[in-house]
Amino acid sequence: MSPMRLCVPGEKLCSVEDCNQGTGVYQRHGYIYSSLAGYVMRKNEGEELPVISVVRETEALLLPDVGAIVTCKVTGINSRFAKVHILYVGSTPLKDRFRGTIRKEDVRESEKDKISLGDVQSTYLLTTAENELGVVVAHSEAGAQMIPISWREMQCPQTNIKEFRKVARVQPEYLEA
Amino acid sequence: MAGLELLSDQGYRLDGRKATELRKVQARMGVFAQADGSAYLEQGNTKALAVVYGPHEMRGSRSRALHDRAVINCQYSMATFSTAERKRRPHGDRKSTEMSLHLKQTFEAAVMTQLFPRSQIDIYVKILQSDGGNYSVCVNAATLAVIDAGIPMRDYVCACTVGFVDETPLADLCYAEESGGVSSLALALLPRGGQIALVQMDARLHQDHLETLIEAAMTACKCVSKVLDEVVRQHLQETSVLSR
């Protein structure tokens, strides 16, 4: 790769007509400026204008965005909802754990229970109401890691007890060898 | 203080500088590994350490979270050994609270908080040695720390304290000049756009001199920004060479 250009916050990169905005940049008065200290990357999109973005070497700051697929760990269960800690957004780990909630009615698409109104939400609201979403790792009461049997049951290999979980049908491309 | 001339006839100040000359600036970024961003900056004898954490989830009262942008939380404190006499109360006194508020306002103007709704960015600045221009050194150190943390900003924020003596604006005041009865003005600037983030003065100055003083402050801030730019570029080159 050709040596990439360093840039600092506030540096004018190009005009809006030359490139589209990517991450790490902002637009003002018809020009694109950098907002991070890092390297300028220009990606060619084919027919459209190239996308210009600024990247740092270390992991980018991530916040869970609406519509993102996240990986979380359940920290508490209630009859109405489960509290989770969000650990990964997509495939990048977060530096800090964010708190989230999965309400009972958001677990399955088909069996919808009563919806509670008026709760002030100050955490991220999550849902597992799709085939690819749900439990990926679970431990049984005996402590062993359970194996999924169907889309709603998992079995413990030590005691052979079946427990109910909403199992995720993970797409093959997400499964690593 | 009889006999101490703030500006001599030949145009030299108490420490031998000319009227528009800044003190020597030395800075280092990334001094702490555990914080998200950190920087140490010296401007003459004033030394400041800035540490940035974030953006992370709101700590404490969730009700203070803003739904469309991040909250910037600044804390300014001085080390007990930073002044000539040992400081009795380093945090919580009125001066520190006022400074923290000024720093918060300054950085809210520069940091792109709309990218991080419902989260919090913490900026902690500590003065290790105080020799005048505390606010300016804090702002400059905090700018480097925020850049080190990778938080998007519109531009650098550079600050300088200027004073007016004998019809001449003096740039970058030291403690002796500040306490010698000079009307001092602190200005924080976003250098590329020329936008002023904060102006602070609590002295008496004739209206006619205000424009000259602000002009002098803006020029001084642009000089500071050149120095900070060098520091950032050098740090980027050093860290990238190591990780490649």
Domain identity same for A123 and A141 = no
Q: Which domain holds residue B53?
A: 25-243
Q: Are B74 and B123 in contact (CB under 8 A)?
A: yes
**Poorest-pLDDT segment among A35-44, A60-69, A166-175:** A60-69
My answer on whether omega of the bond before A9 falls inside 30° of 0, hence cis, is no
* Within a domain: B5: no
Separation between Cα atoms, residue A122 and residue B171, nearest integer Å: 47
Question: pLDDT value at position B224?
Answer: 95
Q: Give the other-Cβ count within 10 Å of B86's Cβ.
A: 10
* Within a domain: B81: yes
Question: pLDDT value at position A3?
Answer: 57
Comparing CA positions, the residue from B231, B150, B39, B237 lying closest to residue A55 is B150
* Within a domain: B156: yes
Closest-CA residue of chain B to A12? B192
Which of A32, A70, A96, A101 is the best substitution to test chain B (most B C-beta atoms within 10 A)? A96
- pLDDT tier, A176 (very low <50, low <70, confident <90, very high otherwise): low
CATH classification of the domain holding B59 = 3.30.230.70
Higher-pLDDT residue of B152 and A59 is B152
A154 has a pLDDT exceeding 60: yes
Q: Give the other-Cβ count within 10 Å of B151's Cβ.
A: 28
ipTM: 0.83
Separation between Cα atoms, residue A32 and residue A17, nearest integer Å: 10
Domain identity same for A100 and A148 = no
| Burial state string for A106-142 with b = 16 or more CB within 10 A and e = fewer than 16 | bbbeeeeeeeeeeeeeebbebebbeeebbbeeeebee
* Within a domain: B2: no
Residues of A in contact with B117 (CB under 8 A): 63
Query: Is A60's Cβ below 8 Å from some Cβ in B?
Result: yes
Residue among A26, A57, A98 whose CB faces B239 most closely: A57
Q: Give the other-Cβ count within 10 Å of B95's Cβ.
A: 11
- CA of residue B11 relative to chain centroid, distance: 27
* Within a domain: B158: yes
pLDDT digits (tens, 9 = 90+) for A7-51: 999 999 989 888 888 888 999 999 999 999 988 888 887 777 888
**Dihedral of alpha carbons B34, B101, B99, B197, sign:** positive
Predicted TM-score (pTM) above 0.90: no
Query: Is A5's Cβ below 8 Å from some Cβ in B?
Result: no
Which of A63, A92, A99 is the best substitution to test chain B (most B C-beta atoms within 10 A)? A63
Q: Which domain holds residue A87?
A: 59-129
pLDDT digits (tens, 9 = 90+) for A100-136: 888 877 777 654 444 444 445 556 788 888 888 888 8
State which of A39, A55, A71 marks the end of a domain.
A55
* Within a domain: B35: yes
Query: Is B232's Cβ below 8 Å from some Cβ in A?
Result: yes
CB pair distance less than 8 Å for A6 and B190: no
Domain identity same for A121 and A136 = no
CATH classification of the domain holding A109 = 2.40.50.140
A positions 86-105 inside 8 Å of B (CB): 95-99
A positions 119-138 inside 8 Å of B (CB): 122
pLDDT < 50 stretches in chain B: 1-2, 243-244
